[in-house]
Amino acid sequence: MALYSEVVMDHFMHPRNVGTIEDASGVGEVGNAKCGDIMKIYLKIENDIIEDVKFETFGCGSAIASSSMATEMIKGKSIHEAMALTNKAVAEALDGLPAHKLHCSVLAEEAIKSALKDYYEKNGIPYDKTQFPDCENCGHCHD
Amino acid sequence: MHVYADNAATTKMSQVAINAMLPYFDKVYGNPSSLHSIGQEAKEALDAARETVAKCLGCEPREIYFTSGGSEADNQAIISAARVGARKGKKHIISTAFEHHAVLHTLNKLEKEGYEVTYLDVKEGHNVTARQVRDAIREDTCLVTTMYANNEIGSILPIAEIGAVCKEAGVPFHTDAVQAAGHLHINVKEQNIDMLSLSGHKFHGPKGVGALYCRRGFPLTNVIEGGAQERGKRAGTENIAGICGMAAALEDACQHMDENMPKVAAMRDKLIEGLSKIPHCALNGDPVNRLPGNVSFCFEGIEGESLLLLLDFKGVSGSSGSACTSGSLDPSHVLLAIGRVHDVAHGSLRLSLSEYNTMEEVDHMLKVVPEVVEHLRKMSPVWRDLQTGKREYIL
Ligand SMILES: Cc1ncc(COP(=O)(O)O)c(C=O)c1O
Ligand SMILES: [Zn+2]
């Protein structure tokens, strides 16, 4: 199907890192079923390094491919590098997404940030709140 | 194996229709308005096509107006009735909540001009009743417009009963029969239909051509102004090849309707029965009064676009009413209108069959659809929450 690039289709058809982590260091979930995309990210962090990452996604091809790509991009990286991941970088790594599908890739960035926030909170690590999106009013889903 | 199961979107052209078109590209290419013999030959073909379409609908040839498709016919029918109404001070229209956008958006335009529209509720039985229509009719109602059969969920409306109600109340009745023509028995006189829209490409004819039946004496308003074609009601040099292809396809469909209908319905029923076994799913649309080729389900815990992509990869072309397939953020208004909440409306799948499908193809779909649904559920956090009791099942 020409709707998506070959990279998107590859990650959609063969998503990397699908699943859950039992004793995850941080878990983040963003989106809601009402707007059609939900992403959940599980992180296993040791010595500030993302040792393992898994995801579950309810959503379109673009949402699933973005989750898969984003998890690949942060695996083995430091939490600071993971914090710096943008949806633009995810979309670029996917060889681009159709314009009306970009909002689906935003969720990947937000899910990772949300999981990192959970990790900081669980471990009492101070963090800069302004770095995190307020998912209660994320703009890509209207009511 | 590749299974085309999106016949409600459009159909493959039949050889009969293709052959009927061919002479009009390079042999009988005249303009029907021209006086010379090449033009007059084209005029004869046009007249013959009009007669064929009229015969299929049970009306007179002069009551058929060729258009560019179903959308244009819908627009013209509704605008015409609205203009007649306005002259009598009547500006109320009755329709349903699950019409095609060709009807809904035309009604929205009229609402902005000061018309009032009642959209009949379709939650009960995923259909409307003639009783609902009767109860909604007012002194100032100038039109009842309800589709003949729904394109997404397949419900067939009680058209003859609605026609009778409208006739008794003296209210013009238009029906968007784009999904019905060539598939169901239509007789506009017996069913008291004043205006009816159809489209060539839904019954193995060409795209970009349709027809509006308009009862003799009902004044049409032009949507396209210009020359005097179509009795002055629709300007533009006629799409002769398209019109002849559509007429041939319609005639062919009507001739074979009684053999195709049970064949297609049997495939539909097998597909519905098999897919119903998938846990936490629901059939959309009227289970009894249903288009022979329509299968429409919602599957909880998954999203429709990813379902379609995977099915396409496995050789099945279907469609979905999920937000991510429409390009908007809302799922299909039809699914919302029948009461499906957003969460499950996103997980919809429509498989629409024609007589070109086979039982082997149905078996293939019965194999791959459950596999794909299970695959997507396995990676869905919503499905996990449903399974672990963190979220309650809706279906
Ligand atoms: C019920 C209904 N009405 C109208 C239309 C529009 O027809 P067309 O594509 O010929 O304009 C369609 C088809 O898409 C339809 O299914
Ligand atoms: Zn999406």
B69 CB less than 6 Å from ligand 1? yes
Counting ligand 1 atoms within 8 A of each CB, the residue from B99, B152, B202 with the most, and so the one to mutate, is: B202
B321 CB less than 6 Å from ligand 1? no
**Is the model's pLDDT at A3 over the cut of 90?**
no
Residue among B305, B327, B380 minimizing CB distance to A56: B380
The model's pLDDT over A75-107, given as tens digits with 9 standing for 90+, comes to 999 999 999 999 999 999 999 998 888 877 889
Cα Rg, chain B, nearest whole Å: 22
Q: What is the mean pLDDT of chain B?
A: 97
User: What strands, in cross-sheet order, belong to the sheet with B64-67?
Assistant: B64-67, B210-214, B195-199, B173-176, B141-147, B92-96, B116-120
Residue among B306, B346, B383 minimizing CB distance to A64: B306
**Is the model's pLDDT at B171 over the cut of 50?**
yes
Tokens of B298: 């919602």
**Is the model's pLDDT at A142 over the cut of 70?**
no
- Residue A141 inside a domain? The answer is no
CATH of span B15-255: 3.40.640.10
- Residue A30 inside a domain? The answer is yes
* Domain locations along chain B: 3-10+257-388, 15-255
Candidates A39, A55, A56, A58: best to mutate against B (most CBs of B within 10 A) is A58
Confidence of residue A133 (pLDDT cuts 50, 70, 90): low
Q: Are A111 and A55 in contact (CB under 8 A)?
A: yes
How far away, in angstroms, is A101 Cα from ligand 2 center?
Answer: 6
Q: Do B346 and A33 touch (CB under 8 A)?
A: yes
Q: Do A33 and B313 touch (CB under 8 A)?
A: no
Tokens of B19: 């052959």
State residue A141's pLDDT score. Answer: 46
Q: Which atom of ligand 1 is nearest to the CA of B72?
A: 11
Q: CA A85, CA A64: separation in Å to the nearest integer?
A: 17
User: What strands, in cross-sheet order, belong to the sheet with A37-46?
Assistant: A26-32, A37-46, A49-58
Nearest CA to ligand 1 atom 14: B9
The model's pLDDT over B184-223, given as tens digits with 9 standing for 90+, comes to 999 999 999 999 999 999 999 999 999 999 999 999 999 9
Q: Do B331 and A36 touch (CB under 8 A)?
A: yes
3-class SS at B238? coil
Percent of chain B scored above 70 by pLDDT?
98
State residue A105's pLDDT score. Answer: 80
Tokens of B141: 């109602």
B152 CB less than 6 Å from ligand 1? no
pLDDT (mean) for B379-386: 96
- Residue A77 inside a domain? The answer is yes
State residue A130's pLDDT score. Answer: 80
Q: CA B241, CA B22: separation in Å to the nearest integer?
A: 7
Residue entry with tokens 């033009």: B39
B99 CB less than 6 Å from ligand 1? no
Q: Do B382 and A20 touch (CB under 8 A)?
A: no
Query: How close are the terminal C-alpha atoms of chain A, in Å?
Result: 31
- Residue A109 inside a domain? The answer is yes
- A101 or B301, which is more confident: B301
Count CB atoms within 10 A of the CB of residue B31: 15
State residue A100's pLDDT score. Answer: 80
* Domain CATH number, residue A19: 3.90.1010.10
**Is the model's pLDDT at A1 over the cut of 60?**
no
3-class SS at A28? strand
**Total domain count, chain A:** 1
Name the most confidently modeled range: A27-36, B298-307, B318-327. Answer: B298-307
Percent of chain B scored above 90 by pLDDT?
96
What pTM did the predictor assign? 0.95
**Is the model's pLDDT at B326 over the cut of 70?**
no
State residue B329's pLDDT score. Answer: 67
- Residue A143 inside a domain? The answer is no
Pairing of strands B64-67, B348-352: unpaired
The model's pLDDT over B73-127, given as tens digits with 9 standing for 90+, comes to 999 999 999 999 999 999 999 999 999 999 999 999 999 999 999 999 999 999 9
Q: Do A56 and B309 touch (CB under 8 A)?
A: no
Residue entry with tokens 């649904």: B373
**Is the model's pLDDT at A138 over the cut of 50?**
no
State residue A137's pLDDT score. Answer: 45
Residues of B carrying an active site annotation: 324
Lowest mean pLDDT among A28-42, A60-74, B59-73, B141-155: A28-42
* ipTM confidence score: 0.91
Residue among A55, A60, A142 minimizing CB distance to B305: A60
Give the number of whichever ligand sits closest to the CA of residue B74: 1
Candidates B379, B386, B391: best to mutate against A (most CBs of A within 10 A) is B379
State residue A34's pLDDT score. Answer: 72
Half-sphere exposure of B296 (CA within 13 A, CB side): 31
Give the number of whichever ligand sits closest to the CA of residue A39: 2
Phi, psi of B61 (to 5 degrees): -55, -35
Phi, psi of B260 (to 5 degrees): -70, -40
pLDDT (mean) for B58-71: 98
DSSP A80-102: HHHHT--HHHHHHHTT---GGGH
State residue A99's pLDDT score. Answer: 84
Counting ligand 1 atoms within 8 A of each CB, the residue from B72, B78, B96, B100 with the most, and so the one to mutate, is: B100
Domain containing residue A10: 6-126
The model's pLDDT over A21-65, given as tens digits with 9 standing for 90+, comes to 999 999 999 998 777 889 999 999 999 999 999 999 999 999 999
Burial class (CB in 10 A: 0-12, 13-18, 19+), B42: buried
Question: Is A62 at the interface with chain B, CB within 8 A?
Answer: yes
The model's pLDDT over B234-270, given as tens digits with 9 standing for 90+, comes to 999 999 999 999 999 999 999 999 999 999 999 999 9
- Residue A134 inside a domain? The answer is no
Q: CATH fold of B3-10+257-388, please?
A: Aspartate Aminotransferase, domain 1 (3.90.1150)
- Residue A45 inside a domain? The answer is yes
Q: How far is A140 from chain B (nearest CA, A)?
A: 9
